[in-house]
């Protein structure tokens, strides 16, 4: 199921057009060549001894920065909510985030984002790829880059997983020229991947026999006519086999009842607990989407509802990653496609706003407790250290130990890993 | 002079510096109190339009109620506080402030005998207070969602409270016992695509003859996040609890923020939303309004003056508007 955004723009529909083939039906894109500087041996040298991971929270529809990371209480744009102190002296966030406030020493806020965009679809592409959406080029999403560059070569599990609020799941098409095996596997409403259970009508023995037969035929074909496409095809089948054998890692029911209660028994709580489980099983990139923040109407009632849900489960997960020693190796990002207007409209709503908004980062490679940039008194403009999606994309990659100024070799063409016209936010990096 | 709803027209208006939220006439009719997005309460002299500010809340206020025949005003804020004020003071200062709810105070009402103050909040509680000293008398729990409105039955024996889910509860005031529930779920929507609860019982009112209970809000919420919905007042038979009317306003998009009964048996609603602001007039014998007045801007609250001829509305465009239900005076 796709989120029903309020404004009904064309871009809202794009995600529906994603290829949702089952796991065993993967097809290859014309990927030629591989990562230059990002080849796994090179990446392995760059990485510390710990495997790096990325955990993204995608606040679909556009989280209000004023009801989260950059409150402006008592101003004409501030709305009814107050600011509360956090575990970082001098840092205040919205009162809607009381649990998160206690953990801000693990996190950092960028309050000076100006992406110059108020469109859902374009904003999604910009924040996920670090580039502008153009007809001329399609760039891989952060998750695909992470899966390609950080996931162990022998990993039996996919490196790129998205947990969506609803729908039946499937496979996304967000890897662009990196190839479909790095595209996200989407877990619809946190359910295990599609087609990952052996049908009851097929016995274990007959399943093994048919796979042996498939491998024989594949091997014979590959001896004479091996291509990148056939490799990807074979990889998808083998990954599906491995994944079917490890299907229990997607089963949140195997977590303790105490943890399930602590995270919250609602969908997003369950999805966050699943994210912890996936990260603990060395999935490289996990994205949890929380919906829906596109609050053109009754922004305050809806943020009260949504941010409250987010706060409890998010704080539980950040706290657990810290307690389990995983925060050093896990980059956390909380992003949206844009923020929301400081002006409160006639429906007590806030509209789309890419001019002055916030994201949160934390964990691996991040200067924790930092506040980067600032906005003016009532949040209508950035007044210090303006940055955009491209700066952030560089920063994500640098934070997990990659050189964001490097290139990927695609069919002999060097493709910059991140926008070459931009650079990381150095003061945000540890 | 008798009210003639079909003659209703905007007679005067005053502008504040911030969008307005709610309004109530004091029992004497001398003042209109409003609340605004600047955290302040305004007292307007109904004759002259002179304005005095009341400042104490640390958030928006929405609850307004009057004690002692109007001598004392109580305001309830989204800071969870109740504040007692001297109604007619030249330079009003809080007389008492209490932390009343964990989260927003959404509504306040005073019992007919003036001996109890009821409040509703986001902590899903209804609370009864001794208005003389601000002490808690009773806490009524059971609502599963935010409580949006409270209303004392004119007889004083019962209190009604309505929540986001359309659950209207009738409580016995003396004991706090839940007597019965009215099903106003027509005023609630859960949108699975957007994953939001929306709607709620925004106002409750019993007809002058005691036969009909009106619960105001919205329906047809096809897009809650985009303000696509229509006003609705569900009318119950008080005795049988059957829904006898679904008061609608064809062609109007918005929320029925308030519904009040005129003593002549007319139900007056105020709606605001994407279709603009309206005063809507219904009779219990028909679902559809028999008259409507288009207001210059979306309306957010409404109250009826003690003279039963004037209706106040507050608006996002920062205006207070006083409409008269009488023929326009020439000149």
Determine the Cα–Cα distance for residues A74 and B26; give it in Å rounded to an integer.
27
Determine the Cα–Cα distance for residues A171 and A181; give it in Å rounded to an integer.
9
Average pLDDT of B79-88?
98
Percent of chain B with pLDDT strictly greater than 70: 100
ipTM of the complex: 0.96
Residue B270 distance to chain A (closest CA, Å):
14
Q: Is residue A27 part of a domain?
A: yes
| Per-residue model confidence (pLDDT) at position A15 | 31
- Between residues A235 and B183, which one has the greater pLDDT? B183
Who among A1, A80, A345 is closest to B59 (CB)?
A: A80
Choosing among B37, B226, B228, B274, which should be mutated to test the A contact, i.e. which has the most A CBs within 10 A?
B226
- Chain B residue at shortest CA distance from A82: B59
For residue A416, give the CATH number of its domain.
3.40.720
**DSSP β-ladder status, B212-223 and B203-206:** antiparallel
Choosing among A60, A348, A352, A378, which should be mutated to test the B contact, i.e. which has the most B CBs within 10 A?
A348
User: How does residue B331 score in pLDDT terms, banded at 50, 70 and 90?
Assistant: low
Average pLDDT of A253-265?
97
Determine the Cα–Cα distance for residues B100 and B136; give it in Å rounded to an integer.
9
Paired tokens of A126: 């910009």
A1 touches chain B (CB under 8 A): yes
| Per-residue model confidence (pLDDT) at position A120 | 97
Q: Is residue B15 part of a domain?
A: yes
Q: Is residue B28 part of a domain?
A: yes
Interface touch A304/B191, C-beta < 8 Å: no
Q: Which of A109-118, A160-169, B260-269 has the lowest mean pLDDT?
A: A160-169
Residue B193 pLDDT more than 50?
Answer: yes
Contact B162, B148 (CB under 8 A): yes
Average pLDDT of A136-152?
94
B26 touches chain A (CB under 8 A): no
Characterize A381-400 residue by residue with b for buried, 16 or more Cβ atoms within 10 angstroms of its Cβ, and e for exposed. ebeebebbbbbbbbbbbbbb
Residue A95 distance to chain B (closest CA, Å):
10
Residue A360 pLDDT more than 50?
Answer: yes
Chain A positions in Cβ-Cβ contact with residue B78 (cut-off 8 Å): 80-81
- Chain A residue at shortest CA distance from B224: A297
- Between residues A286 and A242, which one has the greater pLDDT? A286
Average pLDDT of A156-170?
91
* Residues ≥6 apart with Cβ < 8 Å to B255: B202, B217, B218, B229, B231, B271, B272, B273
Choosing among B104, B195, B317, which should be mutated to test the A contact, i.e. which has the most A CBs within 10 A?
B195
Residues paired with A57 in a beta bridge: A288, A334
Determine the Cα–Cα distance for residues B206 and A363; give it in Å rounded to an integer.
57
Residue A25 pLDDT more than 60?
Answer: no
Q: Which of A20-24, A55-59, A241-245, A290-294 has the lowest mean pLDDT?
A: A20-24
pLDDT in tens, B213-248: 999 999 999 999 999 999 999 999 999 999 999 999
Q: Is residue A2 part of a domain?
A: no
Q: Where are the beta strands (DSSP E) in B39-166?
A: 41-45, 51-54, 61-67, 72-77, 81-86, 96-99, 105-110, 117-121, 126-130, 135-140, 147-152, 158-163
For residue B193, give the CATH number of its domain.
2.130.10.10
Residue A154: Cβ-neighbour burial (10 angstroms; 0-12, 13-18, 19+): exposed
Look-up: residue for tokens 């943020």?
A303
Please provide residue A362's backbone torsions phi and psi, each rounded to the nearest 5 degrees.
Answer: -170, 175
A61 touches chain B (CB under 8 A): yes
| Per-residue model confidence (pLDDT) at position A17 | 30
Chain B positions in Cβ-Cβ contact with residue A1 (cut-off 8 Å): 192-193
pLDDT in tens, B24-67: 999 999 999 999 999 999 999 999 999 999 999 999 999 999 99
Average pLDDT of A39-63?
71
Residue A268 pLDDT more than 70?
Answer: yes
Determine the Cα–Cα distance for residues B145 and A26; give it in Å rounded to an integer.
45
| Per-residue model confidence (pLDDT) at position A237 | 80
| Per-residue model confidence (pLDDT) at position A48 | 38
Average pLDDT of A321-346?
97
Nearest to A61 by CA among A340, A394, A379: A340
Residue A197 CB neighbours (<10 A): 10
| Per-residue model confidence (pLDDT) at position A142 | 98
Residue B64 distance to chain A (closest CA, Å):
17
Residue A36 pLDDT more than 60?
Answer: no
Residues paired with A22 in a beta bridge: none
Chain A positions in Cβ-Cβ contact with residue B60 (cut-off 8 Å): 79-80
A320 touches chain B (CB under 8 A): no
| Per-residue model confidence (pLDDT) at position A1 | 30
| Per-residue model confidence (pLDDT) at position A50 | 67
Paired tokens of B292: 């409507």
Determine the Cα–Cα distance for residues A271 and B213; give it in Å rounded to an integer.
43
* 3-state secondary structure at position A158: coil
What total number of domains does chain A contain? 1
| Per-residue model confidence (pLDDT) at position A12 | 37
Interface touch A5/B225, C-beta < 8 Å: yes
Interface touch A4/B191, C-beta < 8 Å: yes
Residue B185 CB neighbours (<10 A): 14
Determine the Cα–Cα distance for residues B319 and B314; give it in Å rounded to an integer.
6
Interface touch B79/A82, C-beta < 8 Å: yes
Q: Is residue B329 part of a domain?
A: no
Residue A14 pLDDT more than 80?
Answer: no
* Residues ≥6 apart with Cβ < 8 Å to B61: B21, B22, B35, B39, B41, B75, B76, B77, B78
Nearest to B92 by CA among B177, B137, B31: B31
Determine the Cα–Cα distance for residues B270 and A393; give it in Å rounded to an integer.
49
| Per-residue model confidence (pLDDT) at position A43 | 43
Mean per-residue pLDDT over chain A, rounded: 87
| Per-residue model confidence (pLDDT) at position A211 | 87
Determine the Cα–Cα distance for residues B299 and B292; give it in Å rounded to an integer.
13
A76 touches chain B (CB under 8 A): yes
Determine the Cα–Cα distance for residues A25 and B326; give it in Å rounded to an integer.
74
A349 touches chain B (CB under 8 A): yes
B14 touches chain A (CB under 8 A): no
Residue A42 pLDDT more than 70?
Answer: no
Who among B18, B79, B227 is closest to A349 (CB)?
A: B227
Q: Is residue A26 part of a domain?
A: yes
Percent of chain B with pLDDT strictly greater than 90: 99
Chain A positions in Cβ-Cβ contact with residue B195 (cut-off 8 Å): 3, 165-166, 267, 291-292, 306
Percent of chain A with pLDDT strictly greater than 90: 70
- Between residues A46 and A71, which one has the greater pLDDT? A71
Nearest to A313 by CA among A354, A355, A269, A274: A269
Who among B79, B104, B196 is closest to A302 (CB)?
A: B196
Residue B190 distance to chain A (closest CA, Å):
12
B225 touches chain A (CB under 8 A): yes
Choosing among B63, B79, B196, B298, which should be mutated to test the A contact, i.e. which has the most A CBs within 10 A?
B196
Domain assignment of residue B128, given as a range: 5-324
pLDDT in tens, A62-78: 999 999 999 999 999 99
Residue A49 pLDDT more than 70?
Answer: no
Who among B59, B193, B195 is closest to A82 (CB)?
A: B59
Look-up: residue for tokens 């014998």?
B285
* 3-state secondary structure at position A227: coil
| Per-residue model confidence (pLDDT) at position A153 | 81
Who among A7, A291, A301 is closest to B195 (CB)?
A: A291
A411 touches chain B (CB under 8 A): no
Tell me the count of A-B CB pairs closer than 8 A. Answer: 87
| Per-residue model confidence (pLDDT) at position A171 | 87
Domain assignment of residue A382, given as a range: 10-428
Chain B positions in Cβ-Cβ contact with residue A344 (cut-off 8 Å): 19, 37
- Chain A residue at shortest CA distance from B164: A301
Mean per-residue pLDDT over chain B, rounded: 97
Interface touch A3/B60, C-beta < 8 Å: no
A295 touches chain B (CB under 8 A): yes
Interface touch A344/B19, C-beta < 8 Å: yes
What total number of domains does chain B contain? 1
* Residues ≥6 apart with Cβ < 8 Å to B202: B148, B149, B162, B187, B216, B217, B218, B255, B256, B257, B258
Contact B183, B131 (CB under 8 A): no
A222 touches chain B (CB under 8 A): no
Determine the Cα–Cα distance for residues A311 and A100; give it in Å rounded to an integer.
6
| Per-residue model confidence (pLDDT) at position A219 | 87
- Chain B residue at shortest CA distance from A267: B195
Q: Is residue B113 part of a domain?
A: yes
């Amino acid at each position: 199921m796709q989120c029903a955004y309020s404004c009904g723009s064309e871009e809202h529909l794009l995600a529906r057009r994603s290829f949702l083939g089952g796991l065993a039906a993967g097809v290859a894109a014309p990927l030629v060549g591989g990562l230059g500087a990002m080849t796994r041996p090179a990446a392995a040298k760059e990485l510390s001894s710990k495997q790096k991971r990325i955990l993204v929270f995608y606040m679909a529809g556009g989280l209000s920065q004023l009801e989260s990371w950059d409150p402006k209480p008592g101003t004409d744009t501030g709305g009814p909510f107050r600011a509360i102190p956090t575990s970082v002296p001098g840092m205040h966030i919205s009162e809607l985030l009381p649990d998160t406030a206690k953990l801000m020493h693990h996190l950092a806020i960028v309050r000076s984002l100006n992406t110059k965009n108020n469109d859902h679809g374009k904003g999604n592409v910009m924040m996920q790829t670090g580039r502008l959406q153009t007809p001329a080029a399609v760039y891989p999403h952060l998750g695909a880059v992470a899966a390609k560059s950080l996931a162990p070569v022998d990993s039996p599990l996919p490196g790129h997983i998205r947990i969506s609020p609803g729908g039946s799941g499937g496979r996304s098409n967000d890897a662009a020229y990196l190839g479909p095996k790095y595209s996200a596997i989407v877990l619809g409403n946190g359910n295990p991947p599609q087609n990952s259970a052996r049908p009851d009508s097929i016995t274990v023995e007959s399943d093994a026999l048919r796979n042996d037969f498939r491998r024989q035929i594949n091997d014979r074909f590959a001896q004479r006519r091996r291509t990148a496409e056939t490799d990807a095809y074979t990889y998808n089948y083998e990954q599906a086999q491995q994944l079917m054998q490890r299907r229990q890692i997607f089963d949140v029911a195997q977590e303790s009842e105490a943890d399930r209660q602590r995270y919250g028994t609602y969908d997003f709580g369950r999805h966050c607990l699943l994210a912890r489980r996936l990260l603990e099983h060395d999935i490289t990139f996990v994205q949890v989407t929380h919906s829906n923040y596109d609050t053109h109407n009754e922004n305050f009632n809806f943020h009260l509802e949504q941010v409250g849900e987010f706060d409890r489960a998010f704080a539980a997960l950040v706290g657990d990653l810290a307690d389990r020693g995983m925060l050093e190796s896990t980059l956390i990002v909380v992003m949206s496609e844009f923020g929301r207007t400081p002006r409160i409209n006639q429906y007590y709503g806030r509209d789309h706003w890419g001019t002055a908004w916030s994201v949160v980062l934390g964990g691996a490679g991040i200067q924790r407790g930092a506040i980067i940039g600032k906005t003016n008194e009532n949040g209508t403009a950035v007044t210090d250290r303006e940055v955009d999606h491209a700066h952030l994309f560089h920063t994500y990659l640098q934070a997990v130990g990659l050189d964001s100024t490097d290139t990927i070799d695609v069919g002999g063409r060097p493709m910059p890993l991140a926008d070459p016209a931009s650079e990381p936010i150095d003061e945000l990096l540890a | 002079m008798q009210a003639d709803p079909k003659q209703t027209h905007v007679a005067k208006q005053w502008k504040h510096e911030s969008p307005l939220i709610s309004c109530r006439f004091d029992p004497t009719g001398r003042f209109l109190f409003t609340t605004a997005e600047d955290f302040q309460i305004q007292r307007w002299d109904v004759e002259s339009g002179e304005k005095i500010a009341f400042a104490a809340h640390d958030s928006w206020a929405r609850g307004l109620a009057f004690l002692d025949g109007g001598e004392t005003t109580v305001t309830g804020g989204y800071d969870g506080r109740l504040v007692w004020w001297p109604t007619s003071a030249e330079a009003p200062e809080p007389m008492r402030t209490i932390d009343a709810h964990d989260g927003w105070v959404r509504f306040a009402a005073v019992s007919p005998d003036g001996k109890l103050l009821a409040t509703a909040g986001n902590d899903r509680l209804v609370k009864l207070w001794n208005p003389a000293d601000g002490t808690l008398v009773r806490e009524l729990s059971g609502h599963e969602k935010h409580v949006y409105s409270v209303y004392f039955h004119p007889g004083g024996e019962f209190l009604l409270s309505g929540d986001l889910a359309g659950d209207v509860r009738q409580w016995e005031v003396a004991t706090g016992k839940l007597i019965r529930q009215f099903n106003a779920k027509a005023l609630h929507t859960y949108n699975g695509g957007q994953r939001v609860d929306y709607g709620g019982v925004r106002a409750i009112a019993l007809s002058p003859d005691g036969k009909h209970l009106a619960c105001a809000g919205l329906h047809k919420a096809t897009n809650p996040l985009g303000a696509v919905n229509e006003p609705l007042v569900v009318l119950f038979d008080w005795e049988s609890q059957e829904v006898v009317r679904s008061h609608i306003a064809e062609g109007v998009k918005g929320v029925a923020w308030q519904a009040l009964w005129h003593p002549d048996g007319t139900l007056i609603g105020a709606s605001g939303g994407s279709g603009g602001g309206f005063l809507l007039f219904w009779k219990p014998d028909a679902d559809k309004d028999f008259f409507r007045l288009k207001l210059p801007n979306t309306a957010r609250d409404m109250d009826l003056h003690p003279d039963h001829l004037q209706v106040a509305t507050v608006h996002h465009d920062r205006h207070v508007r006083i409409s008269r239900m009488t023929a326009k005076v020439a000149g």
